Structure 1
């Protein structure tokens, strides 16, 4: 009989999914925004917490494997649910690629100036190891995630805490290019960047079928985990950005390693590189687990072929995990070419809009579900839903039109699969048109 995971393992999944490449890259990316970056973090953190409350409500009502698509299916039917589930599944590959590339990049002091092919082999090997771990089951993956969550305590808590002793408010300088924008434009840009750090807050809902008492365990883990991540990001932003001058931080390829050099000197940055890589391995593990659970949920709800619902003796959806990993490998091969790597980096930016679109539709689903007379939705839950919808709408509105156009391809790419699968179930073409 498969072993289910409890609160601490779900909490590790929630936090690991969020604390990935974003926290290690954003101090440098947000450096030009100076003190505006703190306001942007506050806005994004608040939006993320309200999103967490919304997903906690949805999961308490529908503790089903797969996460977002299950809530949308209940509210709007199978057709919309398919495209939400498909977009969520495919964009999870891109998120995983970003983390894998960043993870191996932090090991570059040890790997050296090797050819892109060597880095590609290491990236694929790392993915294969984590894939095999997840094939052993959710319980094994959850336990490893909890262990790796403890390791991240050093670079993400201890280091910025020490950095506060060297804090200089003058380091929060706004660049001339940014200062020419309006306050609304600046905060909009910062929010788009900062929300990347919270993408994945909902992943704790995806393995609901493998969680002990999911209607209570998952909501607690999602809300508590997101609040912890928000506080951790606040500490890191103030600590790292207050330590390194903005004109230096903006050009940093490894802000945490540079912060270690500022404080300790010597070769301590090598230790931080190792720890940062281990932290990112935890994130890769969480997203690999989530990808398998997403497609499992779609298959169980008859929105994808049933072979994705097949499980091995350890209750792991091995076909879903293997196909997800195969998709990630294809993207990793594309990133091995430097010019294509820049394109993939741009796709990562576009993926934020896809996640926010998924969250937005889930928000509307939450409203429809909560309008049921027997829902017993509390006032603060209603408030959280509306604020979450307003937040997603605002960030999407501030997203460049070009990014939104490309982001729509994540959703539309599911059309061939949708028509093939729907025609297989409904041979009558007139039914399809209806």
Structure 2
């Protein structure tokens, strides 16, 4: 992708990691055991995730448990939700293309962190890493919270203690899989991605043959203006695409990253977009609107209406269990990859850069699982905890997305012009759409989530100060210039 578009040689950041005392553009002088070719990143073995596994990582992280409840939530807004899905999908695909371009040009671990650091300097890079780290462990708590309900379809552990035990198991199992090695993690991710996709594809494709126009209900069921209904539906859809950046964050683990990161990002997003759109239309058109609004298992109700029978609830619950554990597996990898990349550059506590014998950043996995577990347990004492967690994660996701889109736009209008790009207008348009989409994500998160997320971002500033002080890096001394 990068070669055909004339974006120049890959990896300015990988070749230009700086030492924290310059303006964010100069290179490190080859310390920290690097071999001089990977620019400050310790030498690592060739990536173990091929294109299929990298795409499965993207798909598995995007498609979690929410898709199995989303049609019922969207039905309350009316069929305008389908339009909202289409609008959000355009923005998500634009983001995927942007991440593909950035990943091909800067195949560096950390994804959004690496792009913002390369374009805007150390401190924005740190804030992006900090924000994404919050997203990963908070999002895992939200996934686990929803996952418990599907597991309980079979276990019926309805006490608080029973639900906590199920959720903690769901958080710890992916941690153990990740700690066992990248290959095991990738295999598990690929298997769960296939298992979650097959039944959903079946409903999405076969269900179209059973669609009845009378079941779709009103276009706007809210009683508000259609722009307000559109925005309300879009707010629910926005987080459904979180994870499109997954392959870029795990760039160091991806084989042939210049080619495969771009492909995995775009292929994964397109596959999820097709699945989301088709399944939403199929469910809307096979379950009467009034029933869909009150449904607790919309996909099971859709299949029951297609073929009859009462076994489908169990089938869909099993699919949701597989989907959720696959999403937790992928996000557990990302909760460690981002801190590891920034720790190697001196922008996160150095302990996060430690790896075990299988080259796995075990400290990040253990810390992320711990924070997710604490958040998950605390959620049981909150009202509407699941929605609150997801909206917070929507905001903290939007921050690194916004900086990534801005980094691509920044490169295009500065260094990109010197590369004599043939598709400048197209690429600028895509980057601008992605940037506007991230602003919409912030608005959709709501004022409460934005307030909480901003406080959590500001809490990272003392951490940044402590890290820089512990390294003896206090910025550029301007006193001599003043004298």
Alignment of 1:347 onto 2:389:
yes
> In structure 2, what is the Cα distance between the partners aligned to 1:156 and 1:176?
26
Q: Deviations along 1:43-97, whole A, 9 cap, x unmatched? A: 0111100001111111111111111110000011111111111011111112112
Alignment of 1:163 onto 2:221:
no
> In structure 2, what is the Cα distance between the partners aligned to 1:241 and 1:14?
26
* TM-aligned CA deviation for residue 427 of structure 1: 7.0
* TM-aligned CA deviation for residue 393 of structure 1: 2.3
> In structure 1, what is the Cα distance between the partners aligned to 2:476 and 2:121?
19
Q: Which residue of 2 aligns with 1:40?
A: 84
1:30 match: secondary structure: helix
* TM-aligned CA deviation for residue 265 of structure 1: 1.6
* TM-aligned CA deviation for residue 420 of structure 1: 1.9
Q: TM-score, normalised by structure 2?
A: 0.84
Q: Structure 1 residues 313 and 189, CA, compared in 2 at 3 Å: closer, same or farther?
A: same
Asked if the contact 1:363/1:389 (under 8 Å) is kept, the reply is: yes
Asked if the contact 2:391/2:446 (under 8 Å) is kept, the reply is: no
Task: Please point out which of 365, 371, 376 is paired with 1:321.
Answer: 365
Q: Deviations along 1:246-275, whole A, 9 cap, x unmatched? A: 222222222223333333322232122112
Asked if the contact 1:21/1:98 (under 8 Å) is kept, the reply is: no
Q: Which residue of 2 aligns with 1:242?
A: 285
Number of aligned residues: 430
Q: Deviations along 1:255-308, whole A, 9 cap, x unmatched? A: 223333333322232122112211221111111111111111111121112221
Q: Which residue of 1 aligns with 2:8?
A: none
* TM-aligned CA deviation for residue 344 of structure 1: 4.8
Counting only pairs closer than 5 Å after superposition, residues 284-363 of structure 1 correspond to structure 2 as 284-335=328-379, 337=380, 339-340=381-382, 342-363=384-405
> In structure 2, what is the Cα distance between the partners aligned to 1:317 and 1:359?
24
Gaps of 5+ in 2: 1-44
Q: Which residue of 1 aligns with 2:22?
A: none
Moved over 6 A (4+): 429-433
Which has more radius of gyration? Answer: 2
Task: Please point out which of 300, 303, 315 is paired with 1:271.
Answer: 315
Task: Please point out which of 79, 87, 92 is paired with 2:123.
Answer: 79
> In structure 1, what is the Cα distance between the partners aligned to 2:62 and 2:404?
19
Task: Please point out which of 406, 413, 416 is paired with 2:452.
Answer: 406
Q: Which residue of 1 aligns with 2:98?
A: 54
Q: Which residue of 2 aligns with 1:385?
A: 431
Counting only pairs closer than 5 Å after superposition, residues 2-151 of structure 1 correspond to structure 2 as 4-151=48-195
Asked if the contact 1:249/1:255 (under 8 Å) is kept, the reply is: yes
Q: Structure 1 residues 363 and 430, CA, compared in 2 at 3 Å: closer, same or farther?
A: closer
> In structure 1, what is the Cα distance between the partners aligned to 2:317 and 2:475?
57
Task: Please point out which of 245, 248, 251 is paired with 1:205.
Answer: 248
> In structure 1, what is the Cα distance between the partners aligned to 2:91 and 2:473?
44
* TM-aligned CA deviation for residue 429 of structure 1: 9.7
1:45 match: secondary structure: helix
Alignment of 1:418 onto 2:461:
no
Q: Structure 1 residues 428 and 282, CA, compared in 2 at 3 Å: closer, same or farther?
A: closer
Task: Please point out which of 255, 258, 262 is paired with 1:215.
Answer: 258
> In structure 1, what is the Cα distance between the partners aligned to 2:446 and 2:384?
18
> In structure 1, what is the Cα distance between the partners aligned to 2:178 and 2:146?
21
Q: Which has the higher contact order (CA 8 A, sep 6+)?
A: 1
* TM-aligned CA deviation for residue 354 of structure 1: 2.3
* TM-aligned CA deviation for residue 36 of structure 1: 0.4
Q: TM-score, normalised by structure 1?
A: 0.93
* TM-aligned CA deviation for residue 148 of structure 1: 1.0
